[in-house]
Structure 1
Amino acid sequence: MQPELGIIEGFYGRPWTWEERASTITFLAPHGYGFYLYAPKADVYLRRRWKEAHPEEWADELARLAAHCRSLGVRFGVGISPFEIFGGFDADARDAMARKLAFADALGVQDLAILFDDMRGDQADLAERQAEIVDWAAGRTGAERVIVCPSYYTDDPVLDRVFGQRPDGYVERLGELVDPRIHMFWTGEEVVTREWSVPHLERVTEQLRRKPFLWDNYPVNDGQRMSQYLHLRGFTGRPAAMADHVAAHGVNPALQAVLTRIPMLTLPASYQQGKAYSYFAATRAAAGQVLGEPLGQTLWEDVLFLQDVGLDRLDAKEKVLRERYSGVDHPGAREIIAWLDGAYRITDEIVQTQ
């Protein structure tokens, strides 16, 4: 048994192209990925400039992507990050939110996400303010499903250091106030959780008063440190027993739209094979399926350098990698060369300003 799986394009930095989005959804849909949520941090019209309308060409591309999802039987959704709206949900903010909800409805969204992540949250009435906004939006959207991301979406204290100390009992209070029909994202014990456990999920279910909707931050590689690595190995630490304890399992993919399909193919295998699952074998099989042979074998031989060593520490190995992948007529090989060229580097400034 596996839960509903999906793609959450929610990373910082260089976003996927429209073609990359469509082809990735097409590739993963037959493997159980049944929803796609459009929420790249680089879309300023969903985040820092959320009150402004998308340019016409951008809106047209989104409409085409939504239609593409529908043609595949994949749920299409949009994530709105109304930047620090809970500081003052006044008439101007309500009008702007109403316009954005109408825009999403015109696209035909089935899923609407209200995202309060990565914003200042150190105010005593945070849960009350956010619950008011979510309730207001849920009553005005045509989406079939609404999902909210709390400001503190993990136990990880790094959020408190960066965005201010979370209010006492924040998660529990938000879970109490938000309609139980609305889902809530959760990234686990850490922002980038290495391993999930049933006891943890049971505890979070009690706190949220609903099963968590997982926002899994692997294989994403969008931080200043993480962009130094290509996340290619199969999923680990996601036992099949999780399936009964989550509302759904969304994956935040890597910046490399083709290479990310390798680890993402292994998540369904992890659920389906249970205790028989081998991430080592699953990675090798997925590499061949995504890249074909012999390129899949070549990448498999280089996983140690691509995922573990780091771009700035490759030294002489960089020349070897360039020789192996330069001129190979495959988008996955071109992504490796672009990564070596620094095209996917993320800086702290990018994270702080998107």
Structure 2
Amino acid sequence: MKLLNLTAALFLGGVLQAQNPLPAIHPQPQEVTLSTNRMKAPHGFTLSGMQHPDEDAMRLIRQTLSITDNSEALPLKITSLEDRTPELKRSGAYLLVITPEEIDIAISDSRGLFYAAQTLQQLAQTDGQGNTTLPLGVIKDYPDVAYRGTVEGFYGDPWSHTDRIEQLRFYGKMKMNTYIYGPKDDPYHSSPNWRKPYPEKEAAQIKDLVKEAAANKVDFVWAIHPGLDIKWTDEDRMNVLNKFGMMYDLGVRSFAVFFDDISGEGAKADKQADLLNFLQKEFIEKKEGVSPLIMCPTEYNRAWAGSDYLDVLGRTLDPAIHVMWTGNSVIHDITLEGQEWVNKRIQRPSYVWWNFPVSDYCRDHLLMGPSYGLDPNAAHAMSGFVANPMERAEASKVALYGVADYAWNMKAYNPESDFVEACRYVLPEAPEAFRTFCENNCDPGPNGHRYRRDESIRYAESAEAFLHDFRQHNYNADAADRMNRLFAEITAAPAAIETSRNKALIDEIKPWLMQFHLLGKAGQKAIRTVETGQGEDRAATWQSYLSLTSLLDSMRTIDQTYNQNPYQKGVKVGSRVLTPFVQEIHSGVGSNLLFADQTDAATQMSKASILTDIEQLKYQPLKEGKDQIGYNRLNEVLRIEPGQSFGLTWELQKEATSFNFSLPKSENSGRVFEWSADGRQWTTIADIPTDQARFKLEKLAPEARYIRMRNATDKQMQIYLYEFAVTTKEDTSIDPVRLMYDKNLESVNTLTAGSRITIDKEKDGSLELYLSGSPCSQVVVEGAPLKGKVKQVLYSGPANYIKLKKEALESVKALELYNAGSSPVNIHEIN
């Protein structure tokens, strides 16, 4: 901000020396000149100028300033803008001038007054006498993008009515003017009920939302999604028109038509354009007070734009209709080059639908990092900018705060500093703790869209420095100190965050707060374990390793207990840097304890994985439960070229008990399901009907370790991948004794109380036993002597790390481990 040179004003009675720094204004205004000097009006302000100014804006002004008829009150003048430069003609533009004698607000429209009132609220401070003070200066402000806000367009649980009301109030504060209602799981927005009126309860809620949106100067845009089952007939054309009429009667004045994530007949560009042009002519242009129509195309990103679809829209669609666009792929940064590419095709500036912080493809993660990857020079190349948020409305505010700032003033937008302000805004009670939480919960993890976000960036370098030395069997004390401080902050952050009065936010993120606390403790324990391992006390290292294992087990329990949605189950935190940091240490310490770099091939356990040659699926993470593996649901249409396939492979030590799928649009004789024992020789599964989109096969061949669906036609198949899963069980033919010698500390053979087991004895050398049990556990290692019958007790004590030296073993011919306690003992490894 510039400082206004108002030295002379210091001698005027109404001017104060500033005691506090100038407040930050969000979104940042286009032109700001403020003084450190402040004005006050002890007798309040009296209105002048415009008759009957907007009531919603005046409500905000009265919350900030005392409006009276006192003869000594200073004037607050509201007028229409005389400066009619193109920028100041935009909806929401205003000019705010604060002098010692008065406040002048010139506006383009009622929205401009509302936004000026929001700015006044941010500028106002209270002095020691309880007077409201304002900095002297001038603010000239207007938005870069005409339509700014959100599209509730995610899959999964829609926002609640309370969520939406609170969001609309938040948008008003952040000068966002658009909310597009398009929840994918609303059956009256999409199939099967888009032709029908809303039930009474839902209709009343929409009326409430329209009213609340208007009070916050937000356009409530109701979207219809008819493409899954629309018929290109006069009857269905009238069905869409009539549904718009029903929504108009509920108060809706802004409309959109979505044709995203469909295939087949509904995806034809010429038919879509005909319908939209019909709606433009017969509804938009005829109804009073209706905003421009918005459409979301089927080919809504560059990666899918392989036909003339966009060109057809560009040539035939009415120029007044906005066309939405997600970027170079479904989830992508927004670039000027990408905008210019699509704008040439559709012959108009596209309306950006940015798929962030939406998490319907990674529901086990929170995306609470900064909003970045947005071109600061693209304002002229877009007609609107809306973000698709998470199903967690309050948690979405961190990213949406940045979206609001970007769309209002792109050149001034700084993602990093804005993120800090967002954390302070969303959780003012503990902003630093909340920032620690958010900056370590940014990344979606591996996903089919290959869209990743920076995470833990303040500590990523220290984490890598520590791991680099750890891999060389060294201990980096400086990096350890930095990482320990971070993990201590992480451990403490959840308790500080939970002091917030925003209980809705806490409820949304509670499982992640629990997991974050455990991650902090696990991180500290991991570093301590490495430090302990630098010494000669292997028993202490083993105990520290077991403590770390226990913490990771607790994290696994939370992951398998909370947020068990049908798609991406679980609770992941710090998944890009910090959790892998802890996991690598845990794995590395285990390897160091065993002095083993590789596992015996005869006992090596294989892993479950996805099996596909379809690019769209190659980066999809595997959905893996205790006894089931499968694909995560794909929200978009899956395109399978001739000969391509997708499938699963599972562990050699597991046997498949059933296979089930849900693959809408796949019902034809060209799909072939096959199984294999080795991934090379495939056998057709004849028991699956070709006309079923959903099916469960109750039995597979016991030797099957692979299953797939293949496109056996000579044409591309377009289907939906909702479910493709195999249920498994442990192969009981594997001897549990092998688990004691598999060079894997995580696999165990459990010895019950009072039981004995024979231990393999090497001819030469010492022997190490890695055991665990309760604090009161008691084990005895006995040796049968080479001569005589009396057994030798080589060890008696708690279940722990036990080393039997070479000298002690030379006089025995066989070993036996006895559980002399009253609780089970786990044998992790005998080495």
Identify the TM-score tier after normalising by the shorter chain. Answer: 0.7 to 0.9
% identity of equivalent residues: 24
Amino acid across the alignment from 1:250: V
| 1:29 and 1:74 in contact (8 A); partners too | yes
Alignment gaps of 5+ in structure 1: 158-165
C-alpha deviation, 1:256, in angstroms: 1.1
Match of residue 200 from structure 1:
338
Q: 1:269 to 1:326 in 2, by over 3 A?
A: closer
C-alpha deviation, 1:47, in angstroms: 0.5
- Decide which of 338, 348, 351 is 1:213's aligned counterpart: 351
Match of residue 394 from structure 2:
258
What are the Cα deviations for residues 5-57 of structure 1, in whole angstroms up to 9, with x where unaligned? 12211111011111110111101222221011111111111101212221110
Matching of residue 156 in structure 1 with residue 292 in structure 2: no
| 1:219 and 1:252 in contact (8 A); partners too | yes
| 1:201 and 1:212 in contact (8 A); partners too | yes
Matching of residue 54 in structure 1 with residue 198 in structure 2: yes
Matching of residue 303 in structure 1 with residue 445 in structure 2: no
- Decide which of 195, 220, 223 is 1:79's aligned counterpart: 223
Helix, strand or coil at the partner of 1:45: coil
Q: Judge which range, 205-214 or 273-282, deviates more.
A: 273-282
Helix, strand or coil at the partner of 2:332: coil
Match of residue 190 from structure 1:
329
Cα distance in 2, alignment partners of residues 310 and 321 from structure 1: 22
Cα distance in 2, alignment partners of residues 237 and 182 from structure 1: 27
Q: For this pair of structures, how many residues does the alignment match?
A: 335
Helix, strand or coil at the partner of 1:201: helix
Amino acid across the alignment from 2:278: W
Helix, strand or coil at the partner of 1:240: coil
Q: 1:56 to 1:24 in 2, by over 3 A?
A: same
What are the Cα deviations for residues 127-180 of structure 1, in whole angstroms up to 9, with x where unaligned? 1111111112223333321011110100124xxxxxxxx672111111111001
Cα distance in 2, alignment partners of residues 309 and 75 from structure 1: 30
Matching of residue 65 in structure 1 with residue 209 in structure 2: yes
Match of residue 140 from structure 1:
282
| 1:325 and 1:336 in contact (8 A); partners too | no
Cα distance in 1, alignment partners of residues 308 and 634 from structure 2: 31
Cα distance in 1, alignment partners of residues 338 and 383 from structure 2: 14
| 2:150 and 2:179 in contact (8 A); partners too | yes
Cα distance in 2, alignment partners of residues 209 and 134 from structure 1: 16
Match of residue 162 from structure 1:
none
Cα distance in 2, alignment partners of residues 126 and 309 from structure 1: 33
Q: 1:12 to 1:319 in 2, by over 3 A?
A: farther
Cα distance in 2, alignment partners of residues 137 and 274 from structure 1: 34
Helix, strand or coil at the partner of 1:307: coil
| 1:255 and 1:344 in contact (8 A); partners too | no
Q: 1:309 to 1:129 in 2, by over 3 A?
A: closer
Match of residue 18 from structure 1:
161
| 2:357 and 2:389 in contact (8 A); partners too | yes
Amino acid across the alignment from 2:423: A
C-alpha deviation, 1:322, in angstroms: 6.3
Between structures 1 and 2, the one with greater helix share:
1
Matching of residue 342 in structure 1 with residue 557 in structure 2: no
Q: 1:174 to 1:272 in 2, by over 3 A?
A: closer
Cα distance in 1, alignment partners of residues 339 and 445 from structure 2: 32
| 1:47 and 1:80 in contact (8 A); partners too | yes
What are the Cα deviations for residues 273-302 of structure 1, in whole angstroms up to 9, with x where unaligned? 6555432221121011011121x3212112
Match of residue 771 from structure 2:
none
Q: State TM-score, norm by structure 2.
A: 0.38
Between structures 1 and 2, the one with greater strand share:
2
Matching of residue 92 in structure 1 with residue 235 in structure 2: yes
Cα distance in 2, alignment partners of residues 22 and 282 from structure 1: 24
Structure with bigger RCO (C-alpha 8 Å, 6+ apart): 1
Matching of residue 45 in structure 1 with residue 180 in structure 2: no
Match of residue 248 from structure 1:
384
Q: 1:78 to 1:138 in 2, by over 3 A?
A: same
Match of residue 29 from structure 1:
172
| 1:326 and 1:333 in contact (8 A); partners too | yes
Q: Say what the alpha-carbon RMSD is for the aligned residues.
A: 2.8
Cα distance in 2, alignment partners of residues 111 and 336 from structure 1: 33
Q: Judge which range, 205-214 or 64-73, deviates more.
A: 64-73
Cα distance in 2, alignment partners of residues 131 and 89 from structure 1: 11
| 1:326 and 1:334 in contact (8 A); partners too | no
Cα distance in 2, alignment partners of residues 93 and 327 from structure 1: 53
Larger radius of gyration: 2
| 1:111 and 1:146 in contact (8 A); partners too | yes
C-alpha deviation, 1:191, in angstroms: 0.7
Q: 1:55 to 1:273 in 2, by over 3 A?
A: closer
Match of residue 420 from structure 2:
284
C-alpha deviation, 1:106, in angstroms: 1.0
Q: State TM-score, norm by structure 1.
A: 0.85
Alignment of 1:297-336 (within 5 A): 297-308=432-443, 329-330=501-502, 331-336=504-509
Amino acid across the alignment from 2:237: R
Q: Judge which range, 198-207 or 36-45, deviates more.
A: 198-207
Alignment of 1:124-139 (within 5 A): 126-139=268-281
- Decide which of 319, 322, 330 is 1:180's aligned counterpart: 319
What are the Cα deviations for residues 183-218 of structure 1, in whole angstroms up to 9, with x where unaligned? 100111011112x22222122111001000111111
Helix, strand or coil at the partner of 1:108: coil
Amino acid across the alignment from 1:303: C
| 2:379 and 2:410 in contact (8 A); partners too | no
Amino acid across the alignment from 2:563: G
Alignment gaps of 5+ in structure 2: 1-142, 447-486, 516-561, 569-631, 636-719, 723-831
Q: Judge which range, 13-22 or 125-134, deviates more.
A: 125-134
Cα distance in 2, alignment partners of residues 127 and 350 from structure 1: 23
C-alpha deviation, 1:107, in angstroms: 2.3
Amino acid across the alignment from 1:180: P
Match of residue 658 from structure 2:
none
